[in-house]
Chains A and B, each alone.
Chain A
């Protein structure tokens, strides 16, 4: 077969395929046309019958009106349900935010108390208190005070934002800090900074079994912090109890270590 014959044969096959497709499409069109014709005839019959018999017309109208009323009722119910679901959704979203916040607060409190009780070294405990006040509360200027048992005086032992020597000592029951510690009540003023070191903006007494052992006094917050949140108050409460216990335990441990060493020294002297 020559090349030209092959080309003609291919074109014929293409044409036949196209023709078959066209025939198939025409058959489908005819079928659809038939279906629509019979549908139209049925509707026309019903309309003519309704036109001939007014009671049929009324019946048809009644049926349609009833259907419309049903649909409208269904629509109202669906709309009400939608409103209800939207309300529930927004309540869930609000609850989710609250749970997230609660979760965050609990994580802060857990981590703080975990860290405070992770050591029996007094310097380490004081360092952890300082870390919590800087990183979690957001204080820029503050001092941690311990009570000198003999003189009933609050002495600063750690600080941030200024030299330690700049922070004044305080007598128990005297001045803002002394009074707050003597009364075992945390005090918090809604201000961001105090330049007067005798007027801290926050006083947190550190209390063990109703006995004050020290205090945290905050004098200024970080620039990006514009006030105290609920979490800050929770942290102050936590520090008031847990930091005090941690300091108390660390002091007891160090005393017992010293005593143990002394006793060990005596035993060594007697036995060697």
Chain B
């Protein structure tokens, strides 16, 4: 059975790059959201096995989105990977405290994302 992954990222360049990387996984369906609010709408209306979330986004930032997902009984189990330019330890700690499972700093390598996603999905 395939996995559904949600990418919440305001940069189209980053979204395309992440889609490129994730397409190497077997049987994966990728859905894109362009900001936190769009991400919340999508994650609430369908089932996802994992979400990749940027921090700095317009309308609703990634940290707010993570706290809303973790506060929702139906969504709180979704593994979350943060992909951000914010490399400071306090930013990492804040995201992990809110419930992110992994924290990756940009610029990222495709195989780094793949490895983290595979671990969380326990996929090939």
Do A and B form a real pair? yes
Binding site for B on A (CB under 8 A): 100, 103-104, 107-108, 110-112, 114-115, 128, 131-132, 134-138, 140, 222-225
CB of B44 within 8 Å of the partner chain: no
Task: Find out whether the CB atom of A107 lies under 8 angstroms from the CB atom of B85.
Answer: no
A107 with B21, Cβ < 8 A, contacts A114-B16, A115-B13, A136-B13 known: yes
Interface SS, A side? helix
**Distance from A38 Cβ to chain B, minimum over Cβ atoms (Å):** 55
In the assembled complex, the Cα of A112 lies from the Cα of B12 at a distance in Å of 10
Residues of A within 8 A of B111 (CB): 100, 104
Nearest CB in chain A to that of B19: its residue: A111
**Which of chain A's residues have a CB closer than 8 A to the CB of B11?**
131, 134-135
Task: Say yes or no: A223-B16 contact (C-beta < 8 A), given A104-B109, A138-B106, A138-B107.
Answer: no
Chain B residues with CB under 8 A of A136: 13, 17, 106-107
Q: How many residue pairs, one in A and one in B, have C-beta atoms under 8 Å apart?
A: 57
Which residue in B105, B106, B110 is a CB contact (below 8 Å) of A107?
A: B110
CB distance from A128 to the nearest CB of B (A): 6
C-alpha gap A134/B110 in the complex (Å): 17
- Residues of chain B within 8 A (CB-CB) of A104 are 109-111
Contact B13 A112 (CB under 8 A): yes
Contacting pair B106 A108 (CB below 8 A): no
Give complex CA distance A128, B16 in Å. 12
Contact of B107 among A103, A111, A128, A137 (CB under 8 A): A137
